[in-house]
Every structure is written in structure tokens, then in C-alpha cells.
Amino acid sequence: MYVHPELAGVLAGMAPRPDDPVADIEATRAGFRALMAPLMRPGDGTVLIEKAAVPGPDGNEIPVQILRPAAAGPGPLPAVLYIHGGGFSYGELDGPSPMARDVCTETGSLVVNVHYRLVPEHPFPAGFEDCYATLRWLAANAAALGADPARIAVAGASAGGCLSAALCLAARDRGGPAIAFQTLLIPCLDDRLATPSSHRITDPRLTNRAKMRAMWDAYLPRGAVSPYAAPARADDLSGLPPAYVLTCGLDPLRDEGLDYARRLMEAGVPVEVKDVPGAWHLFEASAPGTALARRTTRHWLAALRTALSPVPVS
């Protein structure tokens, strides 16, 4: 398989990971925190952070972090609901994730970083409904938060990309809130795992078919699968917000991301697509210092920044 030259040495040094990350979920969660620890930037002065609790759909409280650019000027800010990844079962961090921080500083947005309920403790639809409740809360409180309700986007990677796409479907079907843009980064969208890339990527060092099967089995209850759980199952993708879709060549999710982008285009939705050949799922966390990781991050942030920029008045 083709590996990008900048990543060959990194991949060679990676150890195999369990095929079922949910089986020992506490170890998986601890391992992710250890991976992300060198990338965290607590108290670097670029963002102002406050914590809040959003009323949840089941009488629960949903913890959120609200990020504002420290250098923000006057006037309402665009807003991004940032949804972390992690197989629906891990990915929460004590401080805002590097991706949430980057969205805040590089796009000049108010960012709501939502800590939705996780599996295996809370299978679908708990986490999804937490995210939808937070989207509604953000839209309803936009003025008080200093955000522009006409410029609210959703963004997320992997499971966060799935939840972002699902929120766009639900907002369309349930009559709101309005979403201006969806940023779907290496999204998992299809529980059927029937694409060529889902069968091709088997390396135990990487996110592979076995890991994805374990993730979906933990997330989904038995019975019919809702499009809000697996957006690729939606029959109709018309009327959805403009999108950015990022995929990677060594990701079992590549083809379902590309298929979803194509279907969005066929439904008349504006879509920008970026594929990174020779890179694996969330490679930026394993190789943050590479030029490839920096270019990839700059690319999707630029698309989001452009989408949320005020439209010039002629």
C-alpha cells in the first residue's frame, strides 16, 4: 500500500492496537489522552474558555466548553459546534482539543465544544440527541453568547464527522436550527462497511475494518439503523448545508466519505473534497510536525473560515 513519504518513518514506529477498542474502554480512553497530551496547549492565551451545562434530552446535563478568540473584535462572531471524534466511545479531553482551539483561533469563531454521552455506557441515540440539544441551545442563545445565528456551522472528525452530518439531516427534517456549513473530517458514515477501502485497510497499527466493526456494534442498538446514526443510509441528501469532506488514502472510511460527497453533489449541495493519499485515519495526531499534517489542517480550516466569512455587501 502506498504510504506518503513523510509518514513512512512514523508508521514504521507505530505499535499494533487492539481490534476492539471498546472491550477495554478505560485503557482506550487513557491511551487517547496520552496520545493527545503533547498537543494540548493549556493557558496559551489565544482563547478565552468558559464551561457551561446544556439541558439534555433525557433530563441529563451536557457539559460544554465555550471558546472565544482572545483577540476578537466587536460584533457577533460566527459560531461552530465542534464535535469530537473517538469511535463514539472516547475522545473527551479536560481542556479544549487542539482541533477545537484551531477552529477558534484560525476562523475567528465562537466554538462550543460538546461532551456528549459515550458508548458503551450510552448507545445511540444518546450522544446524537445530546449534540442536537446543544445545537438548539447554541442557536437559541446566539445573541447572548455574542454569536451570529445566521453563521452557525458544525464540524467534527471521525465519529464527530458522523454526528455533524447527522445533525444536518436532523436540522433539515425537524425544521431547524439553520446550519450554514458542515465540515466532515474523515467521517464514519456507513455501518455496513461495504466499500473497497473498508476491506482493504487491515493493518492493526491503523484504524481498520475490525476496529470499525467493533465501534458500530457498540454504538448501534439492534434493529433498523437510523440515518441519524449512519448518515449514508439517508435516501435524500437534498436541502443540506454546503459541505467540506476530508478523506485519507489509508483510511477504511475513505470510500464512504467520497461516496457521501458525491451524493451530496448529485443532490445539489455545494461540496469541497480533499483526499490525502498515503495518510491514515487521524494521522495528524501521530505525525503533527510533518508538513503534510500542517497543510491538511490549514486546508480544512481555510474552507471553514471562508464559509463563515460575512458576505460582502455590494
CA angle in degrees (0–180, nearest 5) for 227-195-163: 30
Q: Active site includes 199?
A: no
Beta pairing partners, 271: 243
Q: What is the dihedral of CA 104, 133, 62, 39, to 10 degrees?
A: -30
Beta pairing partners, 184: 156, 245
Q: Pick the catalytic residue: 130, 190, 191, 251?
A: 251
Q: Active site includes 19?
A: no
Q: Pick the catalytic residue: 4, 84, 115, 281?
A: 281
Q: Active site includes 158?
A: yes
Beta-sheet strands, E only, within 115-210: 147-157, 181-185
User: Do residues 229 and 124 touch, judged by C-beta distance below 8 A?
Assistant: yes
Contact residues for 198 (Cβ-Cβ < 8 A; gap 6+): 209, 212, 252, 253, 255, 256
Nearest to 311 by CA among 148, 170, 193: 148
Q: Pick the catalytic residue: 158, 164, 198, 226?
A: 158
Q: Is 98 left (phi over 0), alpha (psi -120 to 50) or beta?
A: alpha
Long-range contacts of 263-271 (CB under 8 A, 24+ apart): 263/237, 264/237, 264/240, 266/237, 267/236, 267/237, 267/238, 267/239, 267/240, 268/238, 269/237, 269/238, 269/240, 269/241, 269/242, 269/243, 270/242, 270/243, 271/242, 271/243, 271/244, 271/245
Contact residues for 311 (Cβ-Cβ < 8 A; gap 6+): none
3-state secondary structure of 220: coil
Q: Tell me the torsion sign for CA atoms 37, 108, 50, 181.
A: negative
The catalytic residues are 158, 251, 281
